[in-house]
Amino acid sequence: MCDGSCGGRALSRRAFLEDTGLAAVAAVLASACGNGVFGGAFGPSAMVDLSVSLSSFAPLATVGGIARVDGNSGPPVAVYRSAADTYRAYSMVCPHAGTTVNIQGGGFRCPNHGATFAATGVWTGGQKTGNLYELTVVYDAGAGKLQITGNAPGGGGGGDGEDDD
């Protein structure tokens, strides 16, 4: 079947289908369990621009509280109250494979791979990965509001969207 342009190697239809099938499976696995080498499962980054009223989130009334504040629309975002007048915001997209992490106890946990993160977004155990992506927060004490901005990884899905305290 080779007309001389295949380098002398005859490639049967069966071998071609086996090779391309394996390549397709490898591509699917790389996107499902990617670590950023192939772009991971994050998808394109999304611009976050949220105005958050603190009175709407009871956990943020005390230092150490964590709450998901995106209203389940757009990129998943959580806020952590780290001091009396200091708040930090994080993308809830797991850096390992783009799954939405859950709030659990005093931090976060990926439901798919078991990666755990402190309330500060730092990876603490489970599946080896990077830290959660931190967003910019501006606190307006007079209005009791946070303005959260930044580019966050896309992704999402896989989590149940619930705060698993």
The pLDDT assigned to 33 comes to 40
The pLDDT assigned to 163 comes to 37
The pLDDT assigned to 162 comes to 37
Q: Which CATH architecture has domain 46-152?
A: 3-layer Sandwich (2.102)
The pLDDT assigned to 125 comes to 95
Q: Where in the chain is the domain with CATH 2.102.10.10?
A: 46-152
The pLDDT assigned to 9 comes to 57
pLDDT digits (tens, 9 = 90+) for 48-59: 999 999 999 999
Neighbours of 45 (CB within 10 A): 16
CA dist., res. 102 & res. 58, Å (int): 17
Q: Strands of 102-104's sheet, edge to edge?
A: 102-104, 107-109, 116-118, 123-125
CA dist., res. 41 & res. 43, Å (int): 6
The pLDDT assigned to 6 comes to 52
- Rounded to two decimals, the pTM is 0.68
CA dist., res. 27 & res. 5, Å (int): 27
What residue ranges of the chain have pLDDT lower than 70? 1-11, 15-44, 154-165
